[in-house]
Structure 1
Amino acid sequence: MSKKEAYQQKVEAQLDELNAEIDKLKAKAKKSSADAKIEYQDQIDDMQAKQKAVRKKFDEVKSASEGAWEDVKSGLDSAYNNLEDAVKRASSRFG
């Protein structure tokens, strides 16, 4: 397995964990009061925008050549860290 493939598998696993956490927050939002739903929805919208950015960068890594993927990796790492921070903030706030 190449370094690129190993990295992709690692990121996929991490994204699956974050996606599960976002799904938990969505479920909590559905059960909350109207005011709380608004707060939840703002956080969920932010996380979904960040998810989209991560997916875009992930697709760039996947389509990059074996020699060029590491150049794209830093953008994915940054986008992932932004998403992870948003999920952690929302989880601690609404957890």
Structure 2
Amino acid sequence: MDEKEAYQQKLNAKLDEWKAEIEKMQAKAKTAEADAQLQYQDYIEDLKKRRANLEKELEELRDTQTAAWDDLKSGADKAWKAMSDAMDDAWRRFG
């Protein structure tokens, strides 16, 4: 397995993990007070958008040739970091 394939597998695994965490947040939001539910929903929608953007980055990585891979990987790394930070922040606030 080359570096590109390993990176893609790692990103896929993290996307699956984040999807499960978002689903946990959604379940927790259903049992929260009305005000808290609204806050949860705002965070959840933001996380879903970030995750979708990261999925798009992964698709671009899959389709790219080796020469352009480093450039696209840099963008995916930034999106990954932003998503990770957003998940951490959401759990700190609502976990």
1:77, 1:32 → 2: CA distance?
33
2:24, 2:42 → 1: CA distance?
15
Aligned residues: 95
Structure 1 portions without partners, runs of 5+: none
TM-score normalised by the chain length of structure 2: 0.93
Higher RCO (C-alpha under 8 Å, 6+ residues apart):
1
Give the match for residue 78 of structure 2.
78
Percentage of matched positions with identical amino acids: 46
Q: CA deviation at 1:67?
A: 2.6
Give the match for residue 19 of structure 1.
19
Give the match for residue 89 of structure 1.
89
2:15, 2:55 within 8 Å by CA — same for their partners in 1?
no
1:49, 1:15 → 2: CA distance?
12
Structure 2 portions without partners, runs of 5+: none
Runs of 4+ with deviation above 2 angstroms? none
